[in-house]
């Protein structure tokens, strides 16, 4: 990792990020709706699907941010919603400037593993594992020291306890439920956004953005030298490495095969209440469950 890249990375995990956060929130208005989530929760896939439904055009890494922008790139983007507002992606915890939002939640453990894979590939994991490998990374992730947006549990609670949750302007969607039964979940979102639900259009968008299709789109973007979001470089020489992919497996419950019992129990120590609140198991509650994990990983 070069020195400039290292400096930017370290600064993004300190209080120096606060001015950038303020800057990224300029130019918002009450008509905007937010597609909010913690990092690595399936937000990119969902934006691709929604873009195709909204525009009837094929979504790709080269155009999705022009239609459904990330926070910080939204200033000159045109409205995409019937009310004249934009649909803007954000990974921040709830802020009062947000007046209406869809909040996408994914199991903390799968989110953490996706971040771990990405950080290893980028050369960042060494700053969080404290020389203890995955054990150190898990602990720092749970303490909110790994990502730019704090801990998963505080992020979730900030949204579930926000004013929007009380006034009907927050739609909470679990990634796992959306993957299991995508069409009804999208219909619910479209109704929330005030957009007619065309079932044929929805099915086409789902088909066009399967895991295989998303990966093909990523490969196409890589060969063009495109960037993901606000500057994640798509490196041609790394396209064959699984951990280097922006689009990974999108697994549901993959943590059961990759985390050991001690790591799973550590997750429960820090985040049991938030996990249970959102319908996820808090940990391994019986000896039989511990044995099952050990057998899967054997």
Kindly report, residue by residue over 202-213, the tens digit of the pLDDT. Answer: 999 999 888 787
Position 238 pLDDT exceeds 60: no
Give domain 3-297's CATH number out of 3.40.50.1260, 3.30.300.30, 3.40.50.300, 3.40.50.2300: 3.40.50.300
Phi-psi region of 225 (alpha: psi -120 to 50; beta: other; left: phi over 0): left
Kindly list the domain boundaries of the chain, sorted by start residue.
3-297
- Whole-number Å distance between alpha carbons of 50 and 72: 20
* Average pLDDT, integer, range 111-124: 88
pTM listed for this prediction: 0.84
Residues 6+ apart with CB under 8 A from 270: 142, 143, 151, 153
Percentage of the chain modeled with pLDDT above 90 = 60
pLDDT value for 59: 86
Identify the weakest region by mean pLDDT among 17-26, 74-83, 142-151, 240-249: 240-249
pLDDT value for 278: 97
Lookup result for tokens 């990502």: 147
Strand extents, DSSP E, the chain: 33-37, 87-90, 101-105, 170-174, 227-228, 232-233
* Average pLDDT, integer, range 236-247: 39
- Whole-number Å distance between alpha carbons of 208 and 220: 14
Position 230 pLDDT exceeds 70: no
* Average pLDDT, integer, range 10-28: 79
């Amino acid at each position: 990792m070069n020195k400039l890249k290292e400096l930017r990375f370290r600064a993004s995990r300190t209080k120096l990020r606060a001015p950038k956060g303020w800057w990224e929130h300029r130019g918002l208005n009450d008509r905007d709706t937010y597609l909010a989530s913690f990092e690595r929760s399936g937000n990119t896939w969902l934006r691709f699907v929604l873009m195709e439904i909204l525009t009837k055009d094929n979504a790709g890494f080269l155009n999705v941010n022009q239609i459904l922008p990330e926070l910080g790139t939204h200033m000159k983007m045109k409205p995409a919603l019937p009310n004249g507002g934009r649909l803007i992606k954000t990974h921040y915890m709830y802020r009062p400037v947000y007046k209406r939002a869809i909040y996408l939640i994914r199991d903390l453990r799968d989110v953490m593993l996706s971040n771990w894979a990405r950080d290893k590939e980028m050369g960042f994991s060494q700053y969080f594992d404290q020389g203890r490998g995955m054990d150190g990374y898990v602990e720092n992730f749970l303490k909110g020291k790994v990502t730019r947006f704090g801990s998963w549990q505080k992020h979730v609670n900030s949204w579930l306890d926000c004013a929007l949750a009380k006034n009907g302007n927050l739609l909470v969607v679990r990634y796992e439920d959306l993957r299991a039964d995508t069409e009804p979940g999208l219909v619910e979102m479209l109704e929330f956004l005030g957009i007619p639900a065309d079932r044929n259009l929805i099915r086409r968008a789902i088909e066009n953005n399967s895991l295989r299709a998303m990966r093909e789109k990523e490969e196409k973007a890589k060969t063009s030298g495109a960037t993901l979001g606000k500057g994640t470089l798509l490196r041609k020489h790394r396209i064959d490495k699984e951990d280097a992919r922006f689009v990974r497996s999108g697994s549901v419950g993959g943590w059961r095969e990759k985390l050991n019992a001690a790591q799973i129990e550590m997750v429960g120590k820090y985040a049991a209440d938030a996990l249970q609140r959102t319908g996820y198991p808090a940990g391994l509650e019986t000896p039989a469950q511990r044995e099952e994990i050990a057998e899967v990983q054997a």
